[in-house]
Amino acid sequence: MDKLRILIPKGRIFDNISRLFTEAGFPFCLADRTYRPVIAADWMDAKIMKPQHVGELLELGSHDAGFTGIDWIQESGAEVEEIMDLGFDRVRIVAAVPVELDDTFLKMKKLMVATEYVGLAKAWLEQSGYGYRILRTYGATEVFPPDDADMIIDNTASGQTLRDNGLRIIATILESSTRFVASKAAMANLEKRRRIEELAMLFKAVLDGRDKVMLEMNVPKARFAELVAGLPSMRSPTVAPLYGEEGYAVKIAVQKGEVSGLITRLKKLGAEDIVEYDLRKVVP
């Protein structure tokens, strides 16, 4: 079988994807000034590309699967299949203007709009009834107003950089996060589809594992029924009798956010020797 050809994004998305592959069991290393990671799976071949190009390259068929923000998929209009939302690098694509510009004034003139998102910008500006001219940027879009642009359309996580540059958000155009996507050709190939779906299953197991911990405890026989009735669990708790039939060992997987209050409750219900530990993967 041909290798599964995967595009790994450079920039801010790279670290999250690299960690995800490592935790899924496929660590890779990337030497300085190279674009071909060495990946610990002989059926995968990876290449580093800008996230802006991932969708179009998948559509063209030169690669099988990759990772990029849904903002760049929508910007390029690339025909790809979304496999899963990884939830990384959440940003908003927003329209922002200098704080001193009045909203009424914006509708009265032809705006100079600076953006990397030319397609998304045009669609939103026309829908919103603005007169405009687009100035394509290549990063650092927030520096253009007020001298060289009346408005920018850009991505932001917290909005702090925009505020620091004297800008205010007037609209959110799109909410984006990193997606695992594949070419339609790869998904029509039974073997490649199987590989892609296996990766997605492992990625989901890793992400679910990050959100949960395992709690183990011993419970006296007399308190067992009451304690088990009050346990949160993914399914049923795992229960085993203790040596000498003096009680039970109980395991449950729970959300990390529940742990602090739950441990206190478990102690009141008679749990002893409570141990908490992280999970690597959770596969339902």
pLDDT digits (tens, 9 = 90+) for 42-79: 899 999 999 999 999 999 999 999 999 999 999 999 99
This prediction has a pTM of 0.84
**SS3 assignment, position 111:** strand
Structure confidence at residue 5 as a pLDDT band (50, 70, 90): very high
In a domain, 82, yes or no: yes
Predicted confidence at residue 181, as pLDDT, reads: 98
Show Cβ contacts of residue 185 under 8 Å, excluding neighbours closer than 6 positions: 61, 64
**SS3 assignment, position 20:** helix
In a domain, 192, yes or no: yes
Same domain, 121 and 246: no
Predicted confidence at residue 98, as pLDDT, reads: 95
233 pLDDT higher than 70: no
Instruction: Tell me how far apart the alpha carbons of residues 47 and 37 are, in angstroms, rounded to a whole number.
Output: 6
Predicted confidence at residue 149, as pLDDT, reads: 94
87 pLDDT higher than 80: yes
Range of the domain at 170: 91-176
> 20: which 2 tokens?
């995800």
Predicted confidence at residue 255, as pLDDT, reads: 86
Same domain, 215 and 166: no
Instruction: Tell me how far apart the alpha carbons of residues 154 and 152 are, in angstroms, rounded to a whole number.
Output: 6
> 114: which 2 tokens?
């600076």
Predicted confidence at residue 4, as pLDDT, reads: 95
Instruction: Tell me how far apart the alpha carbons of residues 210 and 153 are, in angstroms, rounded to a whole number.
Output: 34
Average predicted confidence (pLDDT) for the chain:
91
In a domain, 168, yes or no: yes
235 pLDDT higher than 70: no
Same domain, 76 and 185: yes
Chain center to CA of 189: 26
In a domain, 284, yes or no: no
Kindly report the three-state secondary structure assignment for every residue of 238-279.
EEEECHHHCEEEEEEEEEHHHHHHHHHHHHHCCCEEEEEEEC
Instruction: Note the pLDDT tens digit of each residue in 188-216.
Output: 999 999 999 999 999 999 998 888 899 99
Show Cβ contacts of residue 30 under 8 Å, excluding neighbours closer than 6 positions: 37, 38, 48
Number of domains within the chain: 3
Q: Which of 46-50, 59-63, 129-133, 252-256 is predicted least confidently? A: 252-256
> 204: which 2 tokens?
């989901």
Show Cβ contacts of residue 128 under 8 Å, excluding neighbours closer than 6 positions: 171
Same domain, 117 and 240: no
| Share in percent of the chain as helix, strand, coil (round to 5) | 35, 35, 30
Structure confidence at residue 234 as a pLDDT band (50, 70, 90): low
Half-sphere exposure of 35 (CA within 13 A, CB side): 8
Predicted confidence at residue 1, as pLDDT, reads: 60
Structure confidence at residue 107 as a pLDDT band (50, 70, 90): confident
Same domain, 66 and 20: yes
82 pLDDT higher than 90: yes
Same domain, 17 and 68: yes
Same domain, 133 and 147: yes
Maximal C-alpha separation, the chain: 84
In a domain, 147, yes or no: yes
Q: Which of 99, 8, 88, 101 is nearest to 47 (CA)?
A: 8
Query: Omega into 27 within 30° of 0, i.e. cis?
Result: no
Same domain, 60 and 184: yes
Show Cβ contacts of residue 236 under 8 Å, excluding neighbours closer than 6 positions: none
Predicted confidence at residue 102, as pLDDT, reads: 84
Show Cβ contacts of residue 192 under 8 Å, excluding neighbours closer than 6 positions: 1, 2, 4, 64, 186
Q: Which of 51, 67, 63, 55 is nearest to 19 (CA)?
A: 67
In this prediction, residues 215-224 reach a mean pLDDT of 91
Contact 109, 146 (CB under 8 A): no
In this prediction, residues 24-31 reach a mean pLDDT of 86
Same domain, 219 and 102: no
CA dihedral (174, 186, 65, 90) in degrees, to 10, reads 20
